[in-house]
Amino acid sequence: MRIPRKALLISAFLFVYLLPQTSPSQANQPPTHSCPPPQSPKAVTITTVIDGDTVILGDGKHLRLIGINTPELDHQQGRHQPLAQAARQQLQQLLEAPGLQLQLGSQSKDRHGRLLGHLYLADGRNVEAELLRQGLGFALSIAPNLDLRHCHRQAEQQARSERRGVWRLETYRPKLVTELNHTDGGFGLFRGRISRIGKLRRGHFIELDDKIFVAAQGQASGWIQDNFVQLQKNSWIEIRGWLSVRRLSKQQKTRGFLPFSLKLNHSDGLILCKNRC
């Protein structure tokens, strides 16, 4: 997600102010949203917290947490997204406790070679859910790693209803598709009206406001097929994911190619609104 320069300049001051404070009494309370326990956990140690959703294990392997996307740290120029430092700081605090356990996902590695898994604290709390409950990231459902999607979504919903963390900042409010420009690539939440919907060779597609081409595959495609009638033209939806800015040739523009694209493989990333979102 690209962030306006003004927001970047104040992000360093926001992360302390917006980081939820946990008292000793709160820390001893049972988790608000209990996630299923790990089935085949492995004891691990953490040497480095890279950002709010990526760490380095004691054996040197990189681990990307499943089910959450946190604001990005800019390790080269220091132009961090708002609350990126807060997410990293909170993750560091959580992982200081002994007894950490790792549960690898059904898909145990991503295309970058990083491990994919869930971290649990000694008291059984799931680390990703704790971050989501504090509003320090966005819930993600990416097949096939869906074991904790329900508790992750519940944790996010609590933060969203209480306007905690990212849900308090204008920067992270869903963007209107009609107002997108070429600087808006990256992860985000987007709201718009369906201008066209149809089938692909492998899946379905949705076009939003004649600007975003959403390619739906897997479970998301099946959900669209089952809800085809409801997904009528001009219906409002909210969608989340990584928005790509397409570099179109003159010929492609003439043929009607849309300037943005987004891939969707699970319907959790789409909310159908009764009226305008």
Domain ranges of the chain: 5-21+29-168, 174-272
Tallying the residues shown for the chain, one arrives at 277
* Per-residue pLDDT tens digits of the chain, which is 277 residues long: 444 444 444 444 444 444 444 433 344 444 445 899 999 999 999 999 999 999 999 999 999 999 999 999 988 887 899 999 999 999 999 999 999 999 999 999 999 999 999 999 999 999 999 999 999 999 999 999 999 999 999 999 999 999 999 999 999 999 999 999 988 999 999 999 999 999 999 999 999 999 999 999 999 999 999 999 889 888 999 999 999 999 988 899 889 899 999 999 999 999 998 778 7
DSSP character at residue 72: P
What's the CATH number of domain 5-21+29-168, 2.40.50.90, 3.30.230.10, 1.20.1630.10, 1.10.4160.10?
2.40.50.90
- Long-range CB contacts (within 8 A, 24+) of 3-12: 3/79, 3/81, 3/82, 3/171, 4/171, 7/81, 7/82, 7/169, 7/170, 7/171, 8/79, 8/80, 8/81, 8/82, 10/82, 11/80, 11/81, 11/82, 11/83, 11/84, 11/85, 12/80, 12/85
CATH architecture of 174-272: Beta Barrel (2.40)
pTM score, whole prediction: 0.85
Alpha carbons 154 and 247: distance in angstroms, whole number: 37
Domains 5-21+29-168 and 174-272 are alike in CATH topology: yes
How does pLDDT run across 229-242, given as a tens digit for each residue?
A: 889 888 999 999 99
